[in-house]
Amino acid sequence: MARIGVFICHCGENIARTVDVAKVRDALAKHPGVVHSVDYRYMCSAPGQELIREAIKERGLTGVVVAACSPHMHEPTFRKACALAGLNPYLCEMANIREHCSWVHDDREKATEKAIELVRFLVEKVKRNRPLMPIRVPITKRALVIGGGIAGIQAALDIANGGYEVILVERQPSIGGHMAQLSETFPTLDCSQCILTPKMVEVRQHPNIRLLTYSEVEDVKGYVGNFEVTIRKKARYVNEEVCTGCGACIQRCPQKRIPSEFDRGLGRRTAIYIPFPQAVPNIPVIDREHCAYFRRGGCRLCEKECPRGAIDFNQQDQLITEKVGAIVLATGYDLIPSDLYSEYGGGRYKDVIDGLQFERLLSASGPTNGEVLRPSDGKEVKSVVFISCVGSRDRSKGIPYCSKICCMYVAKHAILFKHKVHDGQAFVFYMDVRAAGKGYEEFVRRAIEEEGVVYLRGRVSKIYQQDGKLIVRGVDTLSGVPVEIPADLVVLATAIKASDGVTELAQKLGVPVDAHGFLSEAHPKLRPVETQVAGVFLAGACQAPKDIPDTVAQASGAASKVLSMFAQEAIEREPTIAKVNEQTCVGCFECQRVCPYRAIERKEIRDRQGNLVKVVAYVNPGVCAGCGACTVACRNHSVDLEGFAEEQMFAELNAIVAA
């Protein structure tokens, strides 16, 4: 016999102002099967929960319906309360009479009627609830970090220091990411490589970290705690075990004019190369597309030069399969192409460059040894114009967001330029100056007050060449005058976008991306380092434009989620998942076809002699998310959802119709 308890919350004024809770309580008291019906001001409070616990014990309740806010808010709260009182938590449900009723209606009479109906049909459902036990899923306590920039490095170190194995995968030949390309970081003007390389070396030397560079994740199968990843380790054509990083091969290589990716086209490299001197690992890689041997045969001078015989032109890509329990995405960012604006030259002017290119000019290990010289003719730069918001905050280019870090790095660039060229002139065209971090506002004031950088408020309409200078036509809206500046160099603060290839990777993992290609966090306010996919976490600029302190913090945050997962014996999952009735299942696998989570597997039913009787569908309890698509697809009702069974659903519908 059902003995259901109904608890109606006022939620202060939120529900009680529109819904007559007393009337609801009285109506439900008369409903068949309901033996206890009360109302209270704040059910989620300690006394509110106490009411439930007492009622369960004293009235011998077999089920509980709490009529209040959305289950998203407090289902765990009330289920825990029931569990404490000895009632299986899955015998407790919530009727949403707030978001679905009091918050969306004005008419008190009608809203009250609706609330009564809502609670009634939940009662009918709960009468048919079965007690369920959470599913325990084993965990492989090894993590995979995708991306070897500062975010990936920090996350890997934190997890490794927590005592667990980490595989760090980076698609470039070296870890370090964009931070390795910077000359100095704001607001302290620390040398970027100097603060980064210790961490890079720590990664290399850490006993718990397996570093796979020049590698990419090819496929991901499985589910939280039990992922199986396939990683393609691309052929470097250099034997890592043997190579000492002496660099003799690089000296010898005759292909010396290849534009360097690390220097963003401003410098040159050889076909066999190490991207930058402090690269980790310090092992060269051969660029197939430009290597003379691969293109036309012959050469192989590096092989002859190598004292250790480390060059191996027959090396193949390796496919490595690993089992991991958690994945951290730290794939970073890229800049939009700097030729996007035809009014800024559309890429025709060599002396119109982007922020990362300017970093390489500033960098002591860069293509100009730290001197600020024009890419076109190598002449000294005496006047430089920095333009903020190139692409960002631009509806017409489809990039409405702010790239967050540019205001700061533009100030930094201007300061560093003035340090290097004492008699130089620096101008900044800005729309707003966003300097919200610690020490940031002071840093920008320093650029203006101490270094004499001229800040002009307005955008630039056009850049063109005249007499060897770049004429920048902008405006200062504060004084209302158009402004023309003849510059030697123009640096565009181009918008930040997600790294190339991230959308494809996200699809493999089932992680959503937002309208701009950034990876989506599970909740923008409260769950910034998790994704909707259990076991997959985020860190750094792959989620949204971000500076280094926030990136490092987020990376440690993601690592802590991994560590708290690994600290448990097993993962507990909600048991409200699909279940196949193997007696009636005919093995048509329509369910498998519609399952968005790839949770349906094939299961062979054999007799005692081992003969195959039939193949049926089987729901993997570790993966199934309980969406119910399979229950719709199944033609003979062989799949049902625990806790949301067909019988329960029809009971709800009948309750509404009957009323």
Partner 1 sequence: MTAYAYFPGCSAHGTAKEYDQSTRSVCAKLGIELQEIPDWVCCGASPAHAVNPLLSLALVAKNLDLSPSEQIVTGCAACFNRFKTAMDTLQHDRPLWEQVKQIVQPSKLNGREFRIAHLLEVLCDDFGIDNLKGQVTKPLKGLKVACYYGCLLVRPPKVMAFDDPDNPTKMDELMKAIGAEPVNWEFKTECCGAFHAVPHPEIVLRLTDRILQAAKDAGADVISVACPMCQINLDLRQIDLKKRGKTFDVPVLYFTQLLGLALGINENELGLDRLIVDPKPILKAKELV
Partner 2 sequence: MKQSTEREQFTPTDETPIVLTEEARRFTQEVIRRSGERVDWCYQCGKCTAGCPVAFAMDIEPSRVMRLVQLGQEERVLKSRAIWLCVGCQTCTTRCPQEIDPAKIMDTLREMALEKGLVADREVATFFRSFLDNIRRHGRLFEPALVLQYNLRSGHLFQDADKGPLMLLKGKLPLIPSRNGAIVQRICEALEGRKK
Q: Which residues bind partner 1 (CB under 8 A)?
A: 342-343, 346, 348, 462, 464-467
Selection from partner 2, partner 1, none that 254 binds (CB < 5 to 8 A by kind) is none
Q: Smaller CB distance to partner 2: residue 216 or 394? A: 394
Q: How far is the CB of 353 from partner 1 (least distance, A)?
A: 18
Sequence-distant (6+) residues with CB within 8 A of 76 are none
Q: Smaller CB distance to partner 2: residue 26 or 432? A: 432
| CB contact at 8 A, 379 and 488 | yes
CB atoms within 10 A of CB 387: 25
Q: How far is the CB of 429 from partner 1 (least distance, A)?
A: 18
Q: Smaller CB distance to partner 2: residue 432 or 450? A: 432
CB atoms within 10 A of CB 420: 14
Q: How far is the CB of 464 from partner 1 (least distance, A)?
A: 4
Q: Smaller CB distance to partner 2: residue 320 or 431? A: 431
Q: How far is the CB of 395 from partner 2 (least distance, A)?
A: 5
Q: Tell me the C-alpha distance between 62 and 271, whole Å.
A: 74
Q: Smaller CB distance to partner 2: residue 301 or 431? A: 431
Selection from partner 2, partner 1, none that 76 binds (CB < 5 to 8 A by kind) is none
Q: Smaller CB distance to partner 1: residue 348 or 419? A: 348
Angle between helices 355-362 and 406-420 (to 10 degrees): 30
Q: How far is the CB of 385 from partner 2 (least distance, A)?
A: 13
Q: Phi and psi (nearest 5°) for 581?
A: -85, 100
Selection from partner 1, partner 2, none that 465 binds (CB < 5 to 8 A by kind) is partner 1
| CB contact at 8 A, 204 and 211 | yes
| CB contact at 8 A, 539 and 602 | no
Selection from partner 1, partner 2, none that 607 binds (CB < 5 to 8 A by kind) is none
CA of residue 305 relative to chain centroid, distance:
44
Strand extents, DSSP E, 434-577: 454-457, 462-466, 469-476, 481-487, 489-494, 496-498, 536-538, 570-573
Q: Smaller CB distance to partner 2: residue 245 or 486? A: 486
Positions in the binding site for partner 2 (CB under 8 A): 343, 389, 393-397, 431, 457-462, 473-477, 480-483
- Is the peptide bond between 281 and the residue preceding it cis, with omega within 30 degrees of 0? yes
CB atoms within 10 A of CB 95: 29
Q: How far is the CB of 471 from partner 2 (least distance, A)?
A: 12
Q: Tell me the C-alpha distance between 362 and 412, whole Å.
A: 11
Q: How far is the CB of 636 from partner 1 (least distance, A)?
A: 52
Residue with tokens 């036509």: 473
DSSP tally for the chain: helices H, then strands E: 17, 34
Selection from partner 2, partner 1, none that 348 binds (CB < 5 to 8 A by kind) is partner 1
Selection from partner 1, partner 2, none that 627 binds (CB < 5 to 8 A by kind) is none
Selection from partner 2, partner 1, none that 482 binds (CB < 5 to 8 A by kind) is partner 2
Q: Smaller CB distance to partner 2: residue 390 or 405? A: 390
Q: Tell me the C-alpha distance between 385 and 365, whole Å.
A: 23
Q: How far is the CB of 465 from partner 1 (least distance, A)?
A: 6
Q: Tell me the C-alpha distance between 471 and 492, whole Å.
A: 14
Structure tokens at 281: 């690992």
Q: Smaller CB distance to partner 2: residue 168 or 475? A: 475
User: Which alpha helices (DSSP H) does 481-521 contain, by range?
Assistant: 502-509
Q: Smaller CB distance to partner 2: residue 237 or 429? A: 429
Instruction: Give which of 535, 599, 522 is closest to 561, Cα–Cα.
Output: 535
Q: How far is the CB of 211 from partner 2 (least distance, A)?
A: 43
N residues, the chain: 659
Q: Tell me the C-alpha distance between 153 and 547, whole Å.
A: 15
Q: How far is the CB of 504 from partner 1 (least distance, A)?
A: 31
Residue with tokens 């109302």: 39
Angle between helices 192-205 and 150-161 (to 10 degrees): 40
Q: How far is the CB of 120 from partner 1 (least distance, A)?
A: 50
Selection from partner 1, partner 2, none that 483 binds (CB < 5 to 8 A by kind) is partner 2
Q: Smaller CB distance to partner 2: residue 248 or 481? A: 481
Q: How far is the CB of 45 from partner 1 (least distance, A)?
A: 57
Selection from partner 1, partner 2, none that 110 binds (CB < 5 to 8 A by kind) is none
Residue 132 C-beta-side C-alpha neighbours within 13 Å: 24
Q: Smaller CB distance to partner 1: residue 128 or 462? A: 462
Structure tokens at 389: 């918001």
| Beta-ladder partners of 145 | 168, 328
Selection from partner 2, partner 1, none that 314 binds (CB < 5 to 8 A by kind) is none
Selection from partner 1, partner 2, none that 477 binds (CB < 5 to 8 A by kind) is partner 2
Q: Tell me the C-alpha distance between 273 and 252, whole Å.
A: 11
Label residue 314 left, alpha or beta by phi (over 0 means left) and psi (-120 to 50 means alpha).
alpha
Selection from partner 2, partner 1, none that 389 binds (CB < 5 to 8 A by kind) is partner 2
3-state secondary structure of 45: coil
Selection from partner 1, partner 2, none that 651 binds (CB < 5 to 8 A by kind) is none
Q: Smaller CB distance to partner 1: residue 197 or 465? A: 465
